[in-house]
Each structure stands twice: as structure tokens, then as C-alpha cells.
Amino acid sequence: MAGAWRCTLVVVTLMCVCLWGSTEAVGGARSRPRPQRRHPKKPKVNPIDVTPTAQNINIQQMTGIWYLLNTASKCSHLMNHGTKVEPTVVNFSLASDQILSVSTKTRLNHQCWEILQHYYLTPTPGRLTLKGARPELNTDIVIGETDYNSMAILYYQKRGKITMKLYGRSVDNLSEPMLTKFEQLTEKQDLGLAYIFPFPTYSHCGEVDRDHVINCVPTC
Ligand SMILES: *[C@@H]1O[C@H](CO)[C@@H](O)[C@H](O)[C@H]1NC(C)=O
Ligand SMILES: CC(=O)N[C@H]1CO[C@H](CO)[C@@H](O)[C@@H]1O
């Protein structure tokens, strides 16, 4: 995840694109005007199917600190740089009854960055939306499974591609059964072992300089 961001804050856009090397075309493709279609085709994307494990999520209990322990993804950035993932810690807090505010701290080029995002709650408990520049760039997020005090498995779906993340309340929470569970669930999404990237469980960022606080969306 650490590598896969697309940043929107103008001031830092250049820096971000450099640092986080978007896998999508950031420059040319966006500025070139596209011919307007009158009936744009909706992309055929099936909502994430986590039915067998779906639980009635209490979002309030999800708040607080979570350490990213594992990511499963076919995202090209991870595939290319998966061995260089950086320690990543998130802080969920409820900004309103509609918005889960998400702060992600991670390191790049030996510096700590804090990335701020809003996940919008949907009428379905445990399902949230991270808005993209256009609706088809939205990320659908599902809290698939959690016990609130040790682990959480989240699904992120953007443009039909699924990324799964295993978080722990502490870096010591990663138990063998939990890992097995995660691997079973990733396999169901066609994300085998080759697509699972463990994250470092040490050297997480603490305080972050104010000028290192940015707004980004993940590219996958
Ligand atoms: C998490 O975010 C909340 C809300 O912004 C803040 O009050 C809290 O101090 C944060 N926790 C940590 C450990 O940074
Ligand atoms: C199940 C379990 O061991 N949960 C622990 C995970 O880590 C947090 C933070 O250290 C503990 O509070 C939990 O009890």
C-alpha cells in the first residue's frame, strides 16, 4: 500500500507523483479532453462478495490505531516493489455519522508522511466508499471481518480489482490462525500466496511534520 497512492493536493502533486509513482497515467491522460458519450457505459463491476464472513460491523469499535500487517493485491506497484513495502499504521476516527476519517502514516525516502482520507459510510454496515476524481474511480471498501481488538480484514475494490488488507491492533497480534484465515479469504478472491505482501512490524512513524500531511487516494 505504501507505494500506491495518487495525490490530489495541488501543492504536493508533483512531489507525490514522484514519490508514489502512480500506476495510472496522471499527466496527459487526464488533461486531454475526451469526447463526451451520451450514454456512458457503466463498468461491469460486481460488488465485493464477502457474504460468508460478513458480520454486522460496529464502526465505532473500528476506530483507533491499526497496523497494516499484510496486503494481498495484484496491483502492479506492489508486484514491482513489494519487497520494499514500508511500515504503515492507520488511525480510524469518526468525523461525523457519515464519515470515517482515516490517517495513514508511512515512510518514504526515510521520511514519514501522513495521508488523510475520508471513507464515506453507506447504508450497509461495514461498507464504505472512498471517493475518486470520478465515480468510476471510487473505491468500495468492505470491513469483511474483525474482532475489533486484535485483527481486521478489509477489502478494497477499485475498477473491479480487489486488494485485501490485514490489520492488527498491535504488531504482536499476528497469530498463525489469523494469517491462515487471511490466506483462505484471499484465495477466495483469486489472490494466492504470490500476491500476499507482508509489511514490516517495526519502525512505524510517530509524529509527522505538518508539511508532510497530504491528501491522497490509493491507485489500487
Ligand atoms: C487518532 O485520531 C484521533 C482523531 O483525530 C486523535 O484524537 C487521536 O489522538 C489519534 N490517535 C493517535 C494515536 O494518533
Ligand atoms: C487477541 C489479542 O491478543 N488482542 C490484543 C492485540 O493487541 C492489542 C494491543 O496490544 C491488545 O489490546 C489486544 O488484547
Q: Render 8-29 in DSSP notation, one character per residue.
A: --HHHHHHHHHHH--SS--SHH
pLDDT value for 91: 97
Q: Using CA atoms, how far apart are residues 114 and 212, in angstroms rounded to an integer?
A: 6
Q: What is the pTM of this model?
A: 0.80
- Which protein residue's CA is at the shortest distance from atom 12 of ligand 2? 149
C-alpha dihedral sign at 148, 153, 157, 160: negative
Give the per-residue pLDDT at 1. 40
pLDDT for res 6: 57
Q: Give every CB contact of residue 1 below 8 A, 6+ residues apart in sequence.
A: 68, 71, 78, 85, 88, 104, 106, 163, 165, 199, 218
Find out whether the beta carbon of 149 lies less than 6 Å from any atom of ligand 2.
yes
Residue 68: beta bridge partners?
167
Most confident by average pLDDT, 40-44, 64-68, 203-207: 64-68
Q: Separation of 136 CA from ligand 1 center, angstroms?
A: 31
Gap from CA of 105 to ligand 1 centroid (Å) = 12
What's the Cα-to-Cα distance from 184 to each of 47, 152, 164, 181, 195, rounded to whole Å? 19, 14, 12, 5, 13
Taking 50 as the threshold, does the pLDDT of residue 204 lie above it? yes
Closest ligand, as measured to the CA of 100: 1
Q: Does the Cβ of 95 fall within 6 Å of ligand 1? A: no
User: Which CATH superfamily includes the segment(s) 52-215?
Assistant: Calycin beta-barrel core domain (2.40.128.20)
Query: For ligand 1, atom 5, which residue shows the shortest CA distance?
Result: 93
Give the closest residue (by CA) to ligand 2 atom 10.
170
Q: How far is CA 6 from CA 20, 28, 188, 219, in A?
A: 7, 15, 28, 6
* Whether pLDDT at 220 is above 90: no
Is ligand 2 within 6 A of the CB of residue 169? Answer: yes
Is the per-residue pLDDT at 108 higher than 90?
no
**Which residue ranges make up each domain of the chain?**
52-215
- Which atom of ligand 1 is nearest the CA belonging to 91? 1
In angstroms, how far is CA 105 from the centroid of its own chain?
Answer: 12
Q: What's the pLDDT band for 160 if we cut at 50, 70, 90?
A: confident
What local confidence, expressed as pLDDT, does residue 39 receive? Answer: 58
Distance CA 88, CA 91 (A): 10
118 pocket-lining for ligand 2 (C-beta < 6 Å): no
User: What is the Å distance from ligand 1's center to 139 Cα?
Assistant: 24
